[in-house]
Amino acid sequence: MNMNDLKYYVSLSTEKNFSKVAQDYSVSQPTISAAIKRLEAAFGSQLLVRGNPHQAITLTTAGEQLLVHANEILYHYRLAVREIENSHRQQLVIGMPPIIETNYFPMVAKQLPVSDLNHIQTVEEGSLSALRDLKSGQLDVSFLGYVDDVTDSELIVDEFDQQPFSILVAKDSPLAKLTEVSFNQLKKESFILFKNNFVHDRVFHTLAQQNHIRPQVIFRSSEAQSIVNMVADGIGVSLLTQAVKINNPNVVALRLTDEAQPVFKIGLAYRQSTVFGNDQQHILTMIRDALGL
């Protein structure tokens, strides 16, 4: 089966227009028509409802059935291309959320030979983005920070640590006199948080909903150190996992007293279907050993 035929078909199901699909792929309209005819011949079924040429294209029942499988076929085809390409380059592409890169990866890196580190390509992004890119094949494996267990049957996630969340305040803040605080007590505070593609944002909204409050977020960053520095300067408070080591003497971490509060979990994830090349598997084994997995 021609993969281009399936690509054209999936695009046609969305665009509903032969000319638009032909334009998108820089081919002629007869090329798209021929692709559809080949698919109909291969499956022995009419896939499109052909009627008024001025009306939008619709799919038959057989067409709808093929669409579901065509999306799956193309998804796995793209995964295969990326996996084989990375294997040939003897490279392991690893998703690396900033918190994990700063606070966990150094202990892994120091146990890896330089020759292995040279075959690692890291992609720095938040855990939510990394999870998406892992599923799409952009990453071979990824470190993840998460709250709710990842239940996707296509993924294997090996947890190797978990840490609670704390509230960070400036040393000269009235709140610094406390050792613990409930989230409800912070309803009038201004927060400095990670950006939306980080798990922290989801935890923040969960705590806000549980307490029926809407604290103000005045700034978002992708760097933990930037957040800590801004808290130290008294610009606002923050919600941060204790997986981040705080070395700034002008910042105080308060324990959250909320009974139902999430825990920050850290794991190493990869697709269940991935067949790693020898070099990739060697590096992955070394990383797992360093993490005690």
The predicted-structure confidence for 222-242, as pLDDT tens digits, reads as follows: 888 999 999 999 999 999 999
Token pair for 33? 């028509």
For the chain, where are the alpha helices, taking DSSP H only?
Answer: 3-15, 18-24, 29-43, 61-88, 98-103, 105-109, 114-117, 127-136, 199-210, 224-232, 278-291
Domain ranges of the chain: 3-86, 89-161+265-291, 165-262
CATH number of the 3-86 domain:
1.10.10.10
Nearest to 265 by CA among 140, 167, 149: 149
CATH topology of domain 89-161+265-291: D-Maltodextrin-Binding Protein; domain 2 (3.40.190)
Q: What is the pLDDT of residues 156-188, one digit of tens each?
A: 999 999 999 999 999 999 999 999 999 999 999
Domains 3-86 and 89-161+265-291 share a fold: no
**Is pLDDT at 53 greater than 70 in this prediction?**
no
Task: Report pLDDT for 52.
Answer: 61
Q: What CA–CA distance (Å, rounded) separates 123 from 127? A: 11
Q: What CA–CA distance (Å, rounded) separates 290 from 91? A: 19
CATH topology of domain 165-262: D-Maltodextrin-Binding Protein; domain 2 (3.40.190)
Contact indicator for 248, 169 with CB cutoff of 8 Å = no
Q: What is the pLDDT of residues 6-20, one digit of tens each?
A: 888 888 888 888 888
Mean pLDDT, the chain, integer: 87
Evaluate the CA torsion angle 72, 68, 5, 14 in order and state its sign. Answer: negative
